[in-house]
Amino acid sequence: MTATRIDGKAFAAGVRARVAERVARLKEEQGIVPGLAVVLVGEDPASEVYVRNKGKQTVEVGMNSFEHKLPAETSEAELLDLIGKLNADPAVHGILVQLPLPGHLNSDLVINAIDPAKDVDGFHISNVGLLGTGQKAMVPCTPLGCLMMLRDHLGSLSGLNAVVVGRSNIVGKPMAQLLLGDSCTVTIAHSRTKDLAALCRGADILVAAVGRPEMITGDFVKPGATVIDVGINRVPGRNGILGDCHFDSCAEVAGAITPVPGGVGPMTIACLLANTLTACCRANGLPEPEGLTA
Ligand code: GUN
């Protein structure tokens, strides 16, 4: 292996420490405690693990964590009623509705009922529009985490060729917007892209967010490129989780690469905490935390 391994676990710990430091100051100087409300509908085991981790880390950085666990058969009206109450609650600065929701609930409708200023996932249509037009938005956590690691590793991203493989609303599209905001030349590729390997070989920054285990191999990578692997894939018969990149062959060619696990994954919750802090500062007319926003 020749590539530098970008340690997302350590980076995320650093982000949480910076969040905790500002939270402590907010408490001491203003008497304000940021609060994050997480809403979980139903009993999806993976979601329960995520929600538990979010709650634990929220408390660890000194914020208030409000968990709302609702039964799978909760009606849309009941869920919208809870969101309305959280929107109106001044102790709640961030609201996250864990996805996926049970099939009878319209996710778009539910997400768009959240006050955009409290939408710490950055999924509300207003935040999508603000990000797309280069205005101050709440930015989705996973792409924000990728951006922070890229800036830390590369310094300025200006003029670099970036290829984002994957066009999801949660990762691919906002990632492309963020890279464009940092003056990269951005291409979004996907499953129908012709000669994907050749396209990716032109990338100084390659972000893999396709959800296909080990699809990106070393022959997709430009020598010295920075590779960010967003994949979290479980494959029967293989232990643990696999990324979208075949780590060993990519690491032979890349200049730097994030591993799976221990790369992008830990950054998602760290950025959720950063977004909650940002939302709290904005709500109180205080300066935003430095280096923790796009
Ligand atoms: N489910 C899995 N990841 C996420 C996330 O980042 N936000 C929400 N709301 N649901 C998720």
Q: Are residues 57 and 162 in the same domain?
A: no
Cα separation of 227 and 260, whole Å?
A: 12
Query: How many alpha carbons fall within 13 Å on the CB side of residue 6?
Result: 29
Number of domains in the chain: 2
54 is catalytic: yes
pLDDT band with cut points at 50, 70 and 90 for residue 284: very high
Q: Are residues 159 and 241 in the same domain?
A: yes
Task: Confirm whether 175 is domain-assigned.
Answer: yes
CATH (domain of 240): 3.40.50.720
* Minimum CA distance residue for ligand 1 atom 1: 99
Q: Is the pLDDT of residue 1 over 90?
A: no
Q: What is the mean pLDDT of residues 260-275?
A: 98
Q: Are residues 170 and 255 in the same domain?
A: yes
Domain extent, residue 58, equals: 30-121
Which of 86, 121, 156 is the endpoint of a domain? Answer: 121
Q: Are residues 145 and 100 in the same domain?
A: no
**Could you tell which of 98, 146, 269, 275 is best to mutate to test the pocket of ligand 1, judged by most ligand atoms within 8 Å of the CB?**
98
Cα separation of 82 and 68, whole Å?
A: 9
Q: Is the pLDDT of residue 108 over 90?
A: yes
**Relative to the CA of 140, which ligand 1 atom is closest?**
6
Give the tens place of pLDDT for each residue, 47-98. Answer: 999 999 999 999 999 999 999 999 999 999 999 999 999 999 999 999 999 9
- 3 state SS of 195: coil
The rounded mean pLDDT for the chain is 97
Q: Are residues 260 and 146 in the same domain?
A: yes
Q: Are residues 77 and 162 in the same domain?
A: no
Cα separation of 275 and 231, whole Å?
A: 22
- Indicate the pTM of the whole model: 0.97
Task: Confirm whether 241 is domain-assigned.
Answer: yes
Residue 2 alpha carbon to ligand 1 centre in Å: 33
Give the tens place of pLDDT for each residue, 202-258. Answer: 999 999 999 999 999 999 999 999 999 999 999 999 999 999 999 999 999 999 999
**Could you tell which of 38, 99, 111, 230 is best to mutate to test the pocket of ligand 1, judged by most ligand atoms within 8 Å of the CB?**
99
Task: Confirm whether 237 is domain-assigned.
Answer: yes
CATH (domain of 39): 3.40.50.10860
Task: Confirm whether 270 is domain-assigned.
Answer: no
Q: Are residues 173 and 240 in the same domain?
A: yes
DSSP-derived pairing of the beta strands 233-234 and 241-242: antiparallel
Where helices occur in the chain by DSSP H, the ranges are 8-25, 45-60, 76-88, 107-111, 125-132, 141-154, 172-181, 196-200, 247-253, 265-283
**Relative to the CA of 268, which ligand 1 atom is closest?**
6
Residue 98 alpha carbon to ligand 1 centre in Å: 5
Task: Confirm whether 158 is domain-assigned.
Answer: yes
Give the tens place of pLDDT for each residue, 129-179. Answer: 999 999 999 999 999 999 999 999 999 999 999 999 999 999 999 999 999
Residue 142 alpha carbon to ligand 1 centre in Å: 9
